[in-house]
Structure formats: C-alpha cells, structure tokens
C-alpha cells in the first residue's frame, strides 16, 4: 500500500467514526440532552470558554471557539443550571428536562468589571475531564489590554510576561517558547495563518487589541487538531461585533492611533478596526535636510469581520486582516526601501447536526510579502519574497456521552513560494541605456500539504481521564508522509490538585531564513527533496492546584527534543537548493515553570518563574560542539499586577528579571593588509559560539488609567512610564577593530520613555 492510499484509508476511517449512525442516540435511553450557545447579554457576542454546569450532578461543559456547548445523558427532572465566565456575572437558570428531550437554549451572561469581586467563576473538575489542556494559558483579553508598552496595548508584548516565553530583546515582539524560535509557533487569526505578526521591526505586533476577543496560547503538548509547527500555538479569535447597537472606540497614542466600529446587520453583526502610525506624517512636516535626513517610516493594520445566522443551526463568518510596513531612507547618494505586508481572509461555516454534533468548516487565504531594495552610484538591487497560503479545513466535534468525546478533522494547504532577486550595474550613471543586469533570480515553487486527524477524550474513572490523538501528514513537494501521535493523561489526586502528563510528535515543513540579530528581511522556504522536515518530541508533566477560590497555581516540567532544525548559512554565495541555505542540526530544551495567577478582584495579575536550558548542535558550527543559542536566558522572572483604586483610577506595573543573553566572545585579532601598506583591517578570531553572557536584564514599567466623562462619553487618560529607573540593557555587543587597540562596544536599548494616550468610547 503506497502512502497516498494509506492517507485515503485513514480518511475513510475518520469519516466512518465521525458518522452519527455509528453510535445511535438510542444509547442515551430516556435521558435528555442540553446544548446551545452562551452569549454576552449586551452585545450578543458568543462567549468562549464559559462554564455550563448542571447543579447536583457531575455534568457540565465548556463552550468551544464558537460559543457552543453540549451536555448529554442527563436524567429527566428539574435542574438548576449555572453559567459563569471570567469578566461576567454568574447566571442561574431553572430548567425541566423531559424523557429523551433534546433541549436547545441560548444562555446570556451580563458583563461585570473583571476587577470587582462580583465575578464568580466555578472551577468544575468534572467538566475539565472532557478536554485535557496541558501548558495552556488563559488570560482575559481585558487584562492583556491593560499591559502597555510606550502607551500601546499589545497582545504579543503582554504574552512575553508569561514564564517560558523569551524574546531576542526588549524591543522585539517575537516569541521564543521553551527553546523554540518564533517561526516554530503556529499563529492563527480566525483560522488563517499569519506569517509575520510584527510591526516596527518587532517593537509591537500587528494585532490591534481592540479587534481580538479571545487569546489561546498552548506552550507545548498541543492536541492533534494543530500541526505544522514544532513549539507552540497562538490561536486568536476576532470580535464578532455588537448585534444590538452601533458603538466605537477611538484612541490617540504616542506611537499610533486606533479606531474601531461595530454594530448590527441583518441577522448578525459587523466589526471593523484600524490602526496607523503617524511618524511618516511628522517627517513630511519637518524641514528637509538632504545631508542628514530622517527615515520615512509608517505602518497600518486593518481588521474586519461580519457574521450572519441562517436559522438556528447555521452561522457564517467572513473575516479579514491586513497590515503594511514601509521604510524609505536616502542620504549621501544611498537609497534604501523596505516593505512588509500581511493579508488574510477567512470564510467559516458552523453547523449543528444535532444536540451532540458540531461542525466547523473554514476556507482561508493568507499572504506574506517582503521586499528590500537599494541603489548607490548606479548600482542597485531588488529582493522580493512572498508566500501565498490557500487552505481548507474542517472540524467535527462529537459528544456521544458525558464520558466520551471525539474530534475529527482535515486540512489541505496549497503554498506558492516566490523569490525574486535582481542586482544591476550602470556603466554610465547618466545613461539608462547602459544599465546591465549582473545577477537575476526568479524562483517560484508550489507545494501541497494534506493532513487528517482524530482525537478522543475518555473518562476512565472519576479520577482518571485519557486523551489520545493521531495526525497524518503528507507533503507533496518532498514526498514525505508522517504520523504524529499525541497523548495526554489527567489524574485528580485531591479535590483541588490534579496532575497532567503529555507526549507528542510534531513536524514542520516550513523554514525561515533570518538573521538572529536583525530581521530586516525574513524569507520563508519549503522543505524540498534535499531536506527532511524538522521534528520535535514533547514530554510534559504538570501539576495544577487552586490554593484559594481566586488563585490558580501551576507547575510545569518539560523536555523537548528537536531534529533537523536549521540555522542560516551566511557564508553562502549562490544556493543550489534549500538544504544549502541552512546548517542542519539538532537541539533540545528542558526546564521547569511555576505560575500563580489571580483573575478576579480589585487586584489581578500573576507571578511567573522559569528555569530553562537550551542546547543546539550543528556539525558545521562551533567545531561540531553543542552550544546554547543566543536567546537562552536560564532564569526568567515575570511579575504583573493591576489594581483598581476606585471607579476613576487604576494603576499597574510589570517587572522582569532575566539572565543575560549569550554572545560570542573573541580570543585574538589579526590584521589583513596589502603589501607595502601600513594600514589594514582588523579581523576577530571568535571563541566558543555564544559562550559568554551579557549582564542580567531587568526592567520596571508603570502605568495609570484615569476614567472620566468627556462630552458625555466614557473616556480614559492612560499614563505610561517605560523603563522607570532608566536601566538601558544591552541589545548586542561587538568588537571594534578600527583602531590599533580592539575595544568592546555595547549597543544599548531604549531609555526611560514616558507617554500619554487618550481613549474614547462612543
């Protein structure tokens, strides 16, 4: 049996198992079922992750990404149903369930200030048995938006304050999760993959926080429904919009301004939000100085979403996202241009086949384009890299009983990779006719990736639950077929203490060619026949407990082994295939994390500490000896707090302390010069790769928010102090060999930066 036939039969098996006819609803006998949605009472947006519990029983459920829940096998009778979620007031409903009744209902939750004690969230250990979440972080978006850097709220920057998540520097929004690089993270926005989620060379991300309603981060051991990456999953859901009235939010900040609008349309709602920097507008207003010009830089991003309900069983969502960064600089006869853009669109259809069967189908498109050009003295170059991603995916959730649940799905992706490179030389700078092409490359590659997955969750006993999954993966370009098993176990040791164990194999087809220090031009490439896809194995042991009703305390121990990972070969002149662009090697990371979090009350926040070890080994780097990567931090302490003083004032702060980044030292220096010349250029002989560390990094940021009325509208004045005690950490260290004596030079990061922004809701 060949690989394609194997994939075909696996698909038939999943299709057979997912059919409702395999297990008849008759197995429920006289018992009833309850299903439906949980929505916000003010906007009628669906609420993700809400708890629905049948009081007096062990039955309950969480709402999925569409706000849908299903509870089966409920004995007939009269019940009290409790519905709760963070940032909402607890709700109770009384229901009568008759024999063999399938009741569909929509529960409404009233919003409450996340910082007040009115919020009541019931953690139900019986409900958690339905799905085992390992290394998953749930932080309300309202809390993430309170963390501001330079006056700007930013989801990526907020996530950096979680243990086990590192960055290349304080001005980078890239996420290094448990020893993995940013390209090893799967970033999804309404089901569409986003390939470059950063603005301003990494200082802030491309996601407008006003457009996001749910953030799901899985730092490792993610289930079979996610694939194609080695390290982590960041799954973002955009706001649906207010179904009852038109409203908006406008914000004027130090870096950019934001505007979002939402409202009802037909039997649904719409949302649109945009953000733009105005640095380029300020530059145009300044006096022109040809000898010392300012770089012309600007970016914008735009989010939109529209949804409609067709009857009680069908909903359709159309969402989109686009961002653009542009930099132009010219001085002393040199001109440079850089452009980075993202575009994505997603069409999603959800259908309820029955009280225990939920279908989700998504068609998506994503585009990433990066261009870099320059010209000096008649010589010029142009480089352009793009990736087009056309994808279709389906997901079926089936809840046959209170002890057994299934997920089945498929995903097909068509990739178009493009790389254009052109270097030109002008024999006569005054004559265009004499321009000649010295180098020209035009590369286009198409690849298809197909995958199928199945997953089950079974409650073995009151204390033990088991979750298993299998993902089959076929790569057309490289003709690789892979099977990825996933396994998770949950054991309840005591009322408030549970242990989780997870194992999984993960493969990655795409590779990112980038410099570790300066990511001005990142190029995505597929795995062709010259390479084997990257692979990782995750092993995770976790303990979760609740010392008090409003505190969560988690301990994680992890080990990750990585194979066939790559590092860019900067010495290459002309590549012959993808393999020649990279040094190929292996790596491993292991460590422990502790995370204590308070989600409700006037004071909210968390403390996280991570101890991590990262190692890489390449035959062609560091004499084949293992070394720690640049972003290895070893010790990582994060403290985040927000406190509501009264109805008018809120204050907050963040503090980080980390081991210094690694850097490569020098053992000696020699001079290269031509005969009969006294001057030459110094050349450094490097020591062990990344064998030295910079001083420890630490920083304190403070913010305050004043809530008031302006022209009758709810408004906020936000004051933010970045780097309060002006600790200028080192960005990178280098050896200056221009003089007779070699000197060690440090390039430092940003100083203290106070900022003020204004936000108005209308």
- pLDDT reported for residue 28: 52
Say yes or no to pLDDT of 750 above 70: yes
Helical ranges in 161-294 per DSSP H: 279-285
Say yes or no to pLDDT of 199 above 90: no
- Rounded to an integer, what distance in angstroms lies between the CA atom of residue 650 and that of residue 17? 52
- Rounded to an integer, what distance in angstroms lies between the CA atom of residue 21 and that of residue 24? 6
Neighbours of 634 (CB within 10 A): 17
- pLDDT reported for residue 17: 47
- Rounded to an integer, what distance in angstroms lies between the CA atom of residue 151 and that of residue 759? 11
Q: Which residues of 331-360 are buried (b: 16+ CB within 10 A; e: fewer)?
A: eeeeebbbebbbbbbbbbebbbebbbbbbb
- pLDDT reported for residue 517: 55
How do strand 232-238 and strand 185-189 relate by DSSP bridges? parallel
pLDDT tens for each residue of 11-34:
444 444 444 444 434 445 688 889
Residue 543, classified by CB atoms within 10 Å of its CB into exposed (0-12), middle (13-18) or buried (19+), is middle
Say yes or no to pLDDT of 51 above 80: yes
pLDDT tens for each residue of 607-663:
999 999 999 999 888 888 999 988 888 999 999 999 999 989 999 999 999 998 888
Say yes or no to pLDDT of 493 above 80: yes
CATH number of 136-235: 2.170.130.10
What are the backbone angles phi and psi of residue 529, rounded to the nearest 5°?
Answer: -70, -15
- Residue that is written with structure tokens 């700007």 in the block: 152
Q: Which of 8-17, 275-284, 335-344, 573-582 has the lowest mean pLDDT?
A: 8-17
Helical ranges in 557-705 per DSSP H: 578-581
Non-local CB neighbours of 426 within 8 Å, separated by 6+ positions = 378, 379, 380, 432, 434, 435, 436
Q: How confident is the model at residue 429 (pLDDT cuts 50, 70, 90)?
A: very low
- Rounded to an integer, what distance in angstroms lies between the CA atom of residue 375 and that of residue 681? 26
- pLDDT reported for residue 24: 39
Q: pLDDT over 90 for what percent of the chain?
A: 42
In the chain, where the domains are located: 31-123, 136-235, 236-303+312-761
Say yes or no to pLDDT of 305 above 50: yes
Structure tokens at 722: 């970045």
**Assessment of whether the complete model's pTM goes beyond 0.85:** yes
> Which position has the higher pLDDT, 118 or 406?
406
- pLDDT reported for residue 22: 42
Mean pLDDT taken over the chain: 83
Say yes or no to pLDDT of 125 above 60: no
pLDDT tens for each residue of 507-535:
999 888 776 555 556 678 888 777 889 99
Topology of domain 236-303+312-761 in CATH is Maltoporin; Chain A (2.40.170)
- Rounded to an integer, what distance in angstroms lies between the CA atom of residue 554 and that of residue 542? 7
Per the CB < 8 A criterion, the answer to whether 718 and 151 are in contact is yes
Non-local CB neighbours of 560 within 8 Å, separated by 6+ positions = 178, 179, 180, 220, 231, 536, 537, 538, 539, 588, 589, 590
Q: How confident is the model at residue 285 (pLDDT cuts 50, 70, 90)?
A: low
- pLDDT reported for residue 589: 95
Neighbours of 477 (CB within 10 A): 18
> Which position has the higher pLDDT, 86 or 193?
193
Average confidence (pLDDT) over 348-359: 92
Average confidence (pLDDT) over 476-498: 91
Topology of domain 31-123 in CATH is Immunoglobulin-like (2.60.40)
Q: How confident is the model at residue 269 (pLDDT cuts 50, 70, 90)?
A: very high
Say yes or no to pLDDT of 367 above 90: yes
Average confidence (pLDDT) over 720-733: 87
Q: How far is CA 435 from CA 371, 380, 424, 430, in A?
A: 22, 10, 7, 10
Q: pLDDT over 70 for what percent of the chain?
A: 83
Q: How confident is the model at residue 432 (pLDDT cuts 50, 70, 90)?
A: very low
Q: Note whether 31-123 and 136-235 share their fold.
A: no
Q: How confident is the model at residue 481 (pLDDT cuts 50, 70, 90)?
A: very high
Average confidence (pLDDT) over 26-53: 85
Average confidence (pLDDT) over 345-366: 93
Radius of gyration of the chain (CA): 27
Per the CB < 8 A criterion, the answer to whether 261 and 445 are in contact is no
- pLDDT reported for residue 20: 45
The count of C-alpha atoms lying within 13 angstroms of the C-alpha of 270, restricted to the half-sphere facing its C-beta, is: 8
Say yes or no to pLDDT of 458 above 50: yes
- pLDDT reported for residue 273: 94
Angle (nearest 5°) at CA 595 between 591 and 596: 160
- Rounded to an integer, what distance in angstroms lies between the CA atom of residue 369 and that of residue 587? 30
Average confidence (pLDDT) over 682-697: 85
Provide the Cα torsion 347, 353, 357, 363; round to 10°.
Answer: -10
- Rounded to an integer, what distance in angstroms lies between the CA atom of residue 61 and that of residue 402? 9
pLDDT tens for each residue of 546-603:
888 788 899 999 999 999 998 877 666 566 667 777 888 999 999 999 999 988 888 9
Neighbours of 746 (CB within 10 A): 13
The count of C-alpha atoms lying within 13 angstroms of the C-alpha of 705, restricted to the half-sphere facing its C-beta, is: 24
């Amino acid at each position: 049996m060949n690989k394609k036939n194997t994939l075909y039969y696996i698909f038939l098996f999943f299709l057979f198992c997912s059919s409702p006819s395999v297990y008849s609803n008759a197995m429920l006998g006289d018992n009833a079922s309850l299903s439906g949605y949980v929505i916000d009472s003010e906007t009628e947006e669906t609420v993700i992750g809400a708890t629905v519990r049948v009081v007096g029983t062990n039955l309950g459920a969480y709402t999925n990404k569409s706000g849908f829940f299903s509870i089966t096998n409920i004995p007939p009778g009269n019940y009290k149903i409790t519905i709760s979620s963070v940032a909402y007031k607890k709700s109770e409903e009384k229901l009568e369930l008759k024999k063999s009744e399938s009741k569909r209902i929509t529960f409404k939750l009233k919003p409450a200030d996340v910082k007040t004690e009115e919020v009541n969230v019931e953690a139900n250990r019986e409900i958690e048995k339905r799905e085992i979440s390992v290394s998953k972080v749930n932080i309300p978006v309202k809390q993430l938006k309170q963390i501001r850097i330079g006056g700007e709220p930013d989801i990526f920057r907020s996530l950096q304050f979680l243990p086990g998540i590192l960055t290349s520097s304080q001005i980078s929004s890239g996420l290094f999760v448990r020893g993995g690089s940013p390209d090893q993270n799967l970033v999804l926005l309404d089901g569409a993959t986003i390939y470059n989620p950063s603005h301003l060379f990494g200082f802030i991300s491309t996601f407008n926080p006003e457009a996001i309603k749910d953030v799901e981060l899985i730092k490792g051991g993610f289930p079979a429904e996610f694939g194609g990456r080695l390290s982590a999953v960041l799954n973002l859901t955009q706001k649906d919009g207010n179904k009852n009235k038109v409203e908006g939010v406008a914000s004027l900040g130090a870096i950019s301004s934001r505007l979002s609008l939402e409202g009802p349309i037909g039997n649904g709602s719409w949302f649109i939000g945009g953000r733009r920097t105005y640095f380029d507008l300020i530059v145009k207003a300044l006096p022109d100085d040809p000898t010392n010009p300012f770089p012309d830089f600007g970016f914008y991003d735009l989010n939109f979403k529209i949804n409609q309900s067709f009857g009680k069983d069908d909903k359709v969502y159309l969402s989109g996202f686009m961002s653009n960064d542009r930099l132009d600089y010219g001085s002393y006869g040199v001109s440079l241009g850089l452009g980075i853009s993202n575009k994505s669109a997603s069409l999603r259809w959800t259908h309820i086949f029955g009280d225990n069967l939920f279908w989700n189908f998504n068609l998506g498109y994503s585009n990433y384009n990066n261009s870099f050009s320059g010209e000096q003295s008649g010589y010029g170059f142009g480089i352009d890299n793009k990736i087009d991603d056309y994808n279709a995916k389906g997901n079926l959730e089936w809840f046959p009983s209170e002890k057994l649940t299934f997920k089945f799905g498929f995903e097909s992706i068509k990739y178009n990779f493009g790389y254009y490179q052109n270097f030109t030389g002008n024999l006569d700078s005054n004559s265009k006719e004499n321009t000649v092409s010295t180098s020209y490359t035009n590369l286009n590659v198409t690849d298809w990736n197909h995958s199928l997955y199945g997953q089950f969750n079974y409650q073995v006993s009151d204390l033990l639950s088991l979750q298993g999954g299998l993902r089959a993966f076929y790569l057309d370009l490289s003709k690789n077929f892979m099977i990825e098993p996933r396994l998770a176990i949950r054991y309840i040791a005591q009322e408030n203490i549970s242990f989780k164990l997870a194992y999984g194999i993960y493969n990655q087809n795409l590779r990112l060619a980038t410099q570790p220090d300066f990511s001005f031009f990142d190029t995505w490439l597929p795995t062709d026949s010259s390479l084997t896809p990257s692979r990782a194995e995750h092993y995770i042991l976790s303990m979760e407990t609740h010392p008090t009703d409003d505190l969560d305390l988690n301990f994680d121990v992890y080990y990750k082994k990585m194979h066939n990972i790559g590092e860019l070969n900067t010495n290459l002149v002309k590549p012959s295939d993808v393999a020649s662009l990279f040094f190929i090697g292996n790596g491993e990371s292991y460590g422990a994390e502790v995370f204590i979090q308070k989600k409700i009350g006037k004071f909210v926040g968390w403390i996280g500490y991570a101890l991590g070890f990262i190692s890489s080994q390449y035959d062609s780097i560091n004499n084949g000896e293992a070394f720690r990567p640049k972003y290895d931090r070893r010790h990582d302490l994060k403290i985040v707090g927000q406190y509501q003083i009264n109805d008018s004032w809120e204050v907050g702060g963040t503090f980080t302390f980390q081991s210094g980044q690694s850097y490569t030292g020098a053992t000696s220096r020699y001079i290269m010069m031509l005969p009969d010349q006294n001057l030459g250029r110094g050349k450094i002989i490097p020591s062990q790769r990344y064998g030295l560390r910079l001083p420890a990094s630490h920083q304190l940021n403070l913010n305050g928010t004043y809530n008031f009325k302006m022209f009758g509208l709810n408004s906020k004045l936000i004051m933010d102090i970045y780097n309060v005690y002006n600790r200028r950490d080192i960005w990178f260290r280098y050896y200056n060999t221009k003089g007779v004596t070699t000197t060690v030079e440090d390039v430092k990061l940003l100083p203290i930066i106070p900022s003020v922004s204004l936000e108005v809701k209308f």
